[in-house]
Amino acid sequence: MDFVVLLHIFVFAPILFCITFLSLPLPSPTYFLAWKSQLSQPVADLVLRNGVIYTSDDSLPFADSMAVANGRVLCVGNRSFVQEFEGYGTQVLDLRGKVVVPGFIDSHVHFIDGGLQMMQVKLRGVNKKEEFIRRIKDAAQSTKQGSWILGGGWNNDLWGGDLPAASWINDVTPNNPVWLSRVDGHMGLANSVALTLAGITNLTDDPRGGTILRTANGEPTGVLIDSARTLVTSQIPEDSVDDRREALHRASNLALTRGVTTVVDMGRYYPGFSTELSWDDFSDVYQWANSMSKMKIRVCLFFSMETWSRLVGVINRVGHALSEWIYIGGVKAFADGSLGSNSALLYEPYVDDPDNYGLQVTELEALLNMTTESDLNGLQVAIHAIGDKANDLILDMYGLVASTNGMRDRRFRIEHAQQLAAGTPGRFGKQRVVASMQVVDINPLSGIKTAMKRRPPNWQSAWIPSECISLDDAIKAYTISAARASFLDKDLGSLSPGKLADFVILSTDSWKDFAEDASANVEETYVSGVRAYP
C-alpha cells in the first residue's frame, strides 16, 4: 500500500467521521428512500478491510476499511474504528490491498436500445467493407425470408470514411429488409428492399430535420440522417415487451461487468421518433422490473421534452423516486444532429460538404417555449447540442430562461458539448451549465485512462497532452460529479456515511501504479452492499 495513501488513512481519518454519522440524525436523502438506523450501535452487514478505499469525498479521500448496513455506507475509516461495528452475522471481506472506488455512473446512455442492439447484428469495430458485408450475409442466411435484419454500431471512419450504400448489401439480402444504425445513432443504412417498403425514391423530399443521401443522379444511396431515418424505422415492427425486458437484463449485466452501478437513460427518443417509446419502456420494462425485484442497477430516466406536462403529473403523484432503483430525472430535446453524420449545426460548412452547415432539428421558438415551461415546473432540462453554433444557441437560450424564471439550482445540461467555439467553454462555468460530454461506450475504466493519457489506440504520444487530467479528477467525473449532474449526489457518487453502498473492487493493489499507468480491471461490483458481479 502506498505511503501517501497510508498517511491519508492513519493521520487524516479521524473517528469523528464515524461518530458524527452515528450521533446525528441522518438527513433524509432528496430522492431515494432513506435508511434510518433502528439501533444506537448498529451492526454492519458487511465490513471491508485491508484495502485502499477511494471515497470521492474530499473530507476523507482514502480509508482502509468500510462498514455497510441495510444497503448503505455505515462508516469509513481506520480498521480499528470500523471493526467496532462488526457483530454476529457480519460478513468481513479482506481486500488484500485492492483498490475500491465508488460505483461508476454513466451519465448518458440509451439503455434499452443498447440492450436490443446486443441481440442484433453487431457491427461495432468493423474496419473493412468486406467484413461489413460478410456479417450481413451471415445474418441473412439465418433469417426467415421477409423478416427484418437489424444491426448497429458501424463507423465508416474505421474503414477510411466512405459511407456504406444499399448496393453493398443488396446482393446478399434480396429477400429481407435491412436497417443498420451508425454508432452515433444519427444515421442508418437501409437496403433496397427496405427503401421500397418505405416508399423512398428519387422523388421523395427530405423531411424536416433530416436528410436522404443521394447519388449524383438523385437516387437514394440507402443512408438516412436524423429524422429521415423514421421513413424506414416506422416500417419496422415494434420490439416486443419480452425483447425489451431481455434488453434491460443484458444491458444491466454488461454495465455491472464494467463497474457501472447507475445509468442516466435518455430513452429511445430521437429526432422524428415517437415520444411514446420511452414511456412504453417506463411502464412495460422499468416499472415491471421494479415491481418484480428484477432491477440490477439504478436508472435515472429522461423523457422527451415534448411530454413535459405528462412528466410533471407523474412526479406530482409519485415523486422523483419510485424506489432506490428508479429515479425520474427530467426532459431531453435535440438542437442538432452529429458530427459523424455531418448534421451537427456549425458556423462554418463541412470541409467535405461545402454547402452543408448541419441541421437544426428543433425550431428554436418551440425549444424555448418547452424549456421555459419545463424549468418553471421544476424539471431538469437536458438538450443535445454537438456543433459550435448549436451549443451557443442553447447557452443563449438557457440564459434567457434562467433570467425569465428566476434563480434556482436547476443544473441545466448540454448533452455532448462536442465542438465549441472559442470562448464558449467558459460560458458553461459562468452559467453553471453541466457539460455532459463525449458520450462513449459503457466502459468507465477505459474512459478514465483516456482522460489521463489522451493517447488514441496505436498512437505513440498523447493528443494535446496539456489537457490530460489526474486519476482523482477522472474518477470523480464518473462518480460524485456525475451524481451531481443528475441531482443524485445526496445518495450516490461517493462512499460517504449514509449513502447507498455501491462500489467496485479493482484488480490493482497500488494507488500509485494506478495513478501512473491508469490500468486496472473490474474484479467485483457491489450494489447496495451486495455483490452483483461476478
**What pLDDT score does 208 carry?**
86
Average pLDDT over residues 222-234: 94
Q: How many whole angstroms separate alpha carbon 152 and alpha carbon 229?
A: 13
Average pLDDT over residues 364-369: 97
Give the pTM.
Answer: 0.87
Highest averaged pLDDT of the listed ranges 47-61, 199-213, 446-460: 47-61
**What pLDDT score does 27 carry?**
38
Q: What's the pLDDT tens digit per position in 370-409?
A: 999 999 999 999 999 999 999 999 999 999 999 999 999 9
Q: Which residues contact 44 (CB under 8 A, 6 or more apart)?
A: 67, 68, 69, 74, 75, 82, 85, 86, 87, 90
pLDDT at 13 over 60: no
Domain boundaries, the chain: 3-103+493-533, 111-233, 241-485
Compute the half-sphere exposure of residue 520: CA atoms within 13 Å on the CB side of its CA. 30
Q: What's the pLDDT tens digit per position in 267-305?
A: 998 887 889 999 999 999 999 999 999 999 999 999 999
Q: What's the pLDDT tens digit per position in 306-365?
A: 999 999 999 999 999 999 999 999 999 999 998 988 899 999 999 988 999 999 999 999
Query: Which of 34, 69, 50 has the alpha carbon at shortest distance from 529?
Result: 69
Please name the residue that has the C-alpha cell 489522451. 454
**What string of DSSP letters covers 71-109?**
TEEEEEE-HHHHGGG--TT-EEEE-TT-EEEEPEEEEEE
462 with 488: CB under 8 angstroms? no
Q: Do domains 3-103+493-533 and 241-485 have the same CATH topology?
A: no
> Among 1-5, 86-90, 221-225, 528-532, which is the least confidently predicted range?
1-5
Percent of the chain with pLDDT over 70: 93
Residue 349: cis peptide before it, omega within 30 degrees of 0: no
**What pLDDT score does 252 carry?**
99
**What pLDDT score does 147 carry?**
95
Q: How many whole angstroms separate alpha carbon 367 and alpha carbon 384?
A: 12
Cell of 385: 447540442
Classified by CATH at the fold level, domain 3-103+493-533 comes out as Urease, subunit C; domain 1 (2.30.40)
**Residue 433 φ then ψ, to 5°:** -100, 135
303 with 312: CB under 8 angstroms? no
Average pLDDT over residues 470-477: 97
pLDDT at 32 over 70: no
Distance of CA 513 to the CA centre of its chain: 28
pLDDT band at 10 (very low <50, low <70, confident <90, very high): very low
70 sits in the region (left: phi over 0; alpha: psi -120 to 50; else beta) called left
Distances (CA, A) of 498 to 9, 62, 64, 76, 494: 20, 17, 18, 11, 10
Query: Which of 444, 505, 436, 448 has the alpha carbon at shortest distance from 474?
Result: 448
pLDDT band at 40 (very low <50, low <70, confident <90, very high): low
pLDDT band at 438 (very low <50, low <70, confident <90, very high): confident
**What pLDDT score does 211 carry?**
93
pLDDT at 217 over 60: yes
As a whole number, the mean pLDDT across the chain is 91
Q: Which residues contact 247 (CB under 8 A, 6 or more apart)?
A: 111, 112, 113, 114, 115, 116, 118, 119, 239, 285
Q: What's the pLDDT tens digit per position in 90-109?
A: 999 999 999 999 999 999 99
* The amino acid at 534: P
Q: What is the CATH number assigned to the segment(s) 111-233?
A: 3.10.310.70
Q: Which residues contact 256 (CB under 8 A, 6 or more apart)?
A: 296, 297, 525, 527, 532, 533
Q: What's the pLDDT tens digit per position in 411-430?
A: 999 999 999 999 999 999 99
Q: What is the CATH number assigned to the segment(s) 241-485?
A: 3.20.20.140
Q: How many whole angstroms separate alpha carbon 385 and alpha carbon 139?
A: 35
